[in-house]
Structure 1
Amino acid sequence: MERVLTAKGAATRQRIVEGAAQLIRVEGVQNVGLDDIRGASSTSKSQLFHYFPDGKADLMLAVAQYEAGQVIADQMPQLGDLTTWRKWQAWRRRVIQVYDAQRQACALSALTAQLGTANPATRDIVNALTDEWHAYLAVGVRALKESGEIDARVDVAKSASAILAAVTGGATLLQSTDRLSYLEDALTEALDGLRRPRR
């Protein structure tokens, strides 16, 4: 049974999670210990174990959940309103702006590269994030079809998958090369593909 926290308790727990997330983004999960997290979040050892009884493993799962939420939050409100081609372009600009600003310290990299997917619970978080992200994109592609802005024969699910792959692949290459052009080009090509005439 999940414990219900007071407002103060929830704020303390959130402070610990956010402090840990910021450290992991910069230092990497292998280089961050509980003492580092306590220092970054201004919490005592007893507080940390009060909210995360299983220690680092428990806390890392909470960080993974937090980072998954940040991946979506960083794209809002544009991701939630992809109803016109103009709004799709605004979302594209938002995605590029976010990943350009974050570079090596992005939520997606922290979740997939730093926290990893070896733990089934973390893998479930990544899968849930992917499904949610894909669903937003599919709603947007469907809206363009219904308004006549793209060909009615466009496959909604496949198009959403291609766009999602362009963002995640471009972001991964940005992490490894520090070149934003991969993300810019992949996302531009994926979106332009929506408007190409179908045979």
Structure 2
Amino acid sequence: MRKELTAKGKATRRRIVEGAAEVLREQGVGTVTLDDVMARAGVSKSQVFHYFPDGKDELLLAVARFEAEQVLVDQQPYLGCLDSWENWERWRDVVVARYEILGDTCPLGSLFLQVGRSTPGARAIVAELMGRWQESLAAGIRALRAAGSPSAEFDVDARAAALLAAIQGGVSILLSTGSSAHLRAALDQGIADLRRDLTPAGAGAPR
């Protein structure tokens, strides 16, 4: 059991993780050394191994958790308040913009290639990220469902899962081709389908 870190210790550990994340984004995973991280974070090798006794692999997993959190943070505030079609459209724009800025690189994807997506730690990070992302989408759908009149067969969780899968497919194509067209189409179609099924017959779409 590792001791609970002090406030100063937590701040130092976070500085190391954030410094490593910055270097990894700039240089790519394959070429980064602990010396690069130490220089960016302003820490010594003993400090790095104090907070990450297992070395680079443990640090990479910590950076992967940080990057996974950033995926959700970068979608705020709209991901947390998908209670109007206007906010859904704004969320869509934020998601597309994020991946267009990343271009054909993805820090999280690169990290998982390095540490091994099938390793227990990496799989847990992916599962947690997708679970939190899907639940946020489901919460937004439920917020709009209250104003609509969907059929009894309307499955909120399935719709959220399908939308998330569509996003991931669009992102995969973007990473392969550099084009966000498929991501845009996936989001536009997913939101249009929700709007159609959640808007009461004969009524205007809720704002």
TM-score by length of 1: 0.89
Structure 1 residues without counterparts, runs of 5 or longer? none
The alpha carbon displacement at 1:113 in A equals 4.4
> Which residue does 1:151 correspond to in 2?
150
**Aligned equivalents of 2:39 and 2:110: distance in 1?**
20
The alpha carbon displacement at 1:30 in A equals 2.3
For 2:27, the aligned partner's letter is E
Matched residue of 2:68: which SS? helix
Matched residue of 1:147: which SS? coil
Whether 1:184 and 2:184 are equivalent positions in the alignment is: yes
The alpha carbon displacement at 1:90 in A equals 1.2
8 Å contact 1:70–1:107 — kept in the other structure?
Answer: no
**Aligned equivalents of 2:70 and 2:116: distance in 1?**
16
Matched residue of 1:171: which SS? helix
The alpha carbon displacement at 1:28 in A equals 2.8
8 Å contact 1:16–1:38 — kept in the other structure?
Answer: yes
8 Å contact 1:170–1:186 — kept in the other structure?
Answer: yes
Q: Percent identity over the alignment?
A: 47
Whether 1:117 and 2:117 are equivalent positions in the alignment is: yes
Whether 1:42 and 2:55 are equivalent positions in the alignment is: no
Once the two structures are overlaid, the 10-residue window that deviates more, 51-60 or 15-24, is: 15-24
Whether 1:10 and 2:28 are equivalent positions in the alignment is: no
Query: Within 5 A, what are the aligned runs for 1:65-144?
Result: 65-144=65-144
- Structure 1 residues 43 and 57, CA, compared in 2 at 3 Å: closer, same or farther? same
The alpha carbon displacement at 1:25 in A equals 2.9
The alpha carbon displacement at 1:22 in A equals 2.2
Name the larger-Rg structure.
Answer: 2
**Aligned equivalents of 2:118 and 2:139: distance in 1?**
31
The alpha carbon displacement at 1:59 in A equals 0.8
Once the two structures are overlaid, the 10-residue window that deviates more, 106-115 or 127-136, is: 106-115
Structure 2 residues without counterparts, runs of 5 or longer? 199-207
**Aligned equivalents of 1:103 and 1:44: distance in 2?**
33
Would you say how many aligned residue pairs link Structure 1 and Structure 2?
Answer: 197
User: Over aligned residue pairs, what C-alpha RMSD do you find?
Assistant: 2.1
Matched residue of 2:58: which SS? helix
